[in-house]
Structure 1
Amino acid sequence: MLGLSEAFRAALWQIATLDPQLIEIIGLSLKVTLIAVAIATLIGFALGGVLAVYRFPGRSAVAALLNALMGLPPVVAGLIVYLLLSNAGPLGVLKLLYTPEAMIIAQVILVTPIVAALTRQTCEDLLEEYRDQLRSLGASSAEVVTTLLWDGRYRLITAVLAGFGRAIAEVGAVMIVGGNIDHVTRTMTTAIALETSKGNIALALALGMILLAIALVVNVALMGIRRLASQFAYA
């Protein structure tokens, strides 16, 4: 096993030389996460907007469930998807278990409640502000939802970035449904866990540095968008 200083130097060298194994793992992680976040965003925006504007029996229960699911343990989401996609499950015929598609499904389950709950809160806040104006214009409920989503777009980007941060750092669910198969379903988080257990500290450190850099970029983006949103609010 390399010493700590040697491992750091080896990790930096892998990053600087764009090590093919490193790039492959990062590419798969970003592909799975971006697709999952895109799907979760479409579902979350629609669901959050509907919960904010429409009134129907059980609405409060659905909103409470969404808030609760924001803290859904990743291993539970992974277990649910595993049971659905296993050979004995209802969707086993699709043969999706231990594929990137299964990982995307698991991440969608994790991210959708976050985006939906934050979208609902944003739309409800805006509805309180614009309710009388929208009512005077005779806007339908669907038009109100569309208007609120557009007006709150800067705040909603923070919800999307929050979902991205949750997905990119997730390990439990993707390990269960993806299997951490080399060249097929190995992501940054699962690779870090595996390589650390194998004693390959250099690759684990390289991946950890990339993951920290991504987290930093996401947080900087969140701060910038919040500042931009506040400027537009007071413009």
Structure 2
Amino acid sequence: MDLILDGILQAFRLLFTLDREVLGIAWLSLKVSGLATLISLVLGIGLGTVIALTSFPGRKVLVSLVNTGMGLPPVVVGLFVSILLWRNGPLGFLELLYTPSAIIIAQSVIATPIVMGITIAAMQNLPANLRLQILALGATRTQLVFMLIKEARLPLMAGVMAGFGGVISEVGASIMVGGNVKGYTRVLTTATVMETGRGNFDIAIALSVILLLFCFLINYLLTLIQHRERPR
């Protein structure tokens, strides 16, 4: 119990003293996961909307694959992204392995199926005759899509929170493609694993507390937006 209390006190000490290394790690975590979430929103909402609003052979199989991807193990993603970015891999010429960009790619792969699956479910739960009503008012196909997305904005906000939570808390893919390089690719989760391996449990707990604080604050802000948008 004393170890946990010491870790919590250490977390606040590191934050209030503006420890440069910890702030750098925290900022990189937010930047990488934020960009990955943004990419997953563009891809996930776009593709999820197309899948939900169109009928084509194999659609149920594709939706099943998306739902399976929502639980994709991060280490599996890290393995395949590492192979793609490896020196002799298909994308090795880009020299992205062990860079923040590699972590963003891996986290985007993790978050996109989550956002896509929630988008498909949100669109399918809209009233069946809503599309006909919107088209009857003279809306174009593009306007129809944007209006449907607007109607489904509350569950889509949950997709944002789920996607962000899924990537900022993962560790396997980040270590595999980022290498946990100090001052370059080290994020809160990989730093926590490293300090735990060294037996520095107080620092590990402090980093974990900081990660939890960031997750809470960001999800709290998103929840406020979600409640503000709730229909009265």
Q: Identity over the aligned pairs, expressed in percent?
A: 42
Q: Distance in 2 between matches of 1:119 and 1:105?
A: 21
Which shows bigger deviation, 143-152 or 126-135? 126-135
**1:91 aligns to what?**
91
How many Å separate the matches in 2 of 1:71 and 1:8? Answer: 31
CA distance in 1, matches of 2:52, 2:42: 16
Question: 1:57, 1:4 → 2: CA distance?
Answer: 54
Q: Cα deviation per residue 1:127-165 (whole Å; 9 max; x = unaligned)?
A: 525133124235444332221112222331221111001
Tell me, in whole angstroms, the C-alpha distance in 1 between the residues paired with 2:222 and 2:27.
Answer: 23
Q: Write the deviation string for residues 155-212 of structure 1: whole angstroms up to 9, x where unpaired.
A: 3122111100111101000110001111111000000000111122332222111111
Unaligned runs of 5+ in 2: none
**Aligned mates of 2:133, 2:5 — CA distance in 1:** 63
Q: TM-score, normalised by structure 1?
A: 0.90
Amino acid at match of 1:168: I
Q: Please say if 1:212 is aligned against 2:229.
A: no
Q: 1:15 touches 1:206 (CA, 8 Å); kept in 2? A: no
CA distance, structure 1, for counterparts of residue 44 and residue 23 of structure 2: 30
1:87-112 alpha-carbon deviations (Å, 9 max, x no partner)? 12100111100000000000000000
Aligned length: 231
Structure 1 residues 137 and 55 mapped into 2: Cα distance closer, same or farther (>3 Å)? farther
Decide whether the 8 Å contact of 2:157 with 2:226 is kept in 1.
no
Q: Over residues 76-97 of structure 1, what are the superposed CA-to-partner deviations in whole Å (9 max), with x where a residue is unaligned?
A: 0001100100012100111100
Contact 1:158–1:225 (CA under 8 A) maintained in structure 2: no
Given that residues 72 and 110 in structure 1 are in contact (C-alpha distance below 8 angstroms), is that contact kept between their aligned partners in structure 2? yes
Whole-angstrom CA distance in 1 between matches of 2:225 and 2:82 = 36
